[in-house]
Amino acid sequence: MLQQDDDGTPLQEKLEVLADQIGKMGMWAAGLTLVALTLHLLWDSFQGHHSIFSLMFLSKFVDYVIISVSLIVMAVPEGLPLAVTISLAYSVGKMKD
């Protein structure tokens, strides 16, 4: 009995699926943000505001990467309480029926 894998409850399974979806959405949002900010930076350099090979360009690009990573780090802890609430509400609704 001790060596058998313990399957999670239906609530735990739904929470895992929802947490995965929140993580994927956070990754997409961070990726799109990085692409949009980088395109804006390239457009500014194309218009002559600064050179692509300048230190300011590199500094801004690193700032944009930090913003994207921050979005990923923030998405999971902020989305987890929401996932728990939605999952509990769904489970209570199923129990009422």
- Structurally, how many domains does the chain consist of? 1
d(CA 18, CA 84) in angstroms, rounded, equals 9
Residue with the larger pLDDT of the pair 30 and 93: 30
Between CA 81 and CA 23 the distance in angstroms is: 13
69 has a pLDDT exceeding 80: yes
The conformation of residue 86, written as its DSSP 8-state character, comes to H
Asked whether residue 20 is domain-assigned, the answer is: yes
| 53 lies in some domain | yes
In a domain, 6, yes or no: no
Q: What is the pLDDT of residues 7-39, one digit of tens each?
A: 667 777 777 787 788 888 889 999 999 999 999
Domain that holds residue 91: 11-96
**Would residue 37 count as lying in a domain?**
yes
Helix, strand, coil percentages (3-state) for the chain, rounded to 5, are 80, 0, 20
1 located within any domain? no
Residue 39 maps to a domain: yes
Q: Is residue 28 in a domain?
A: yes
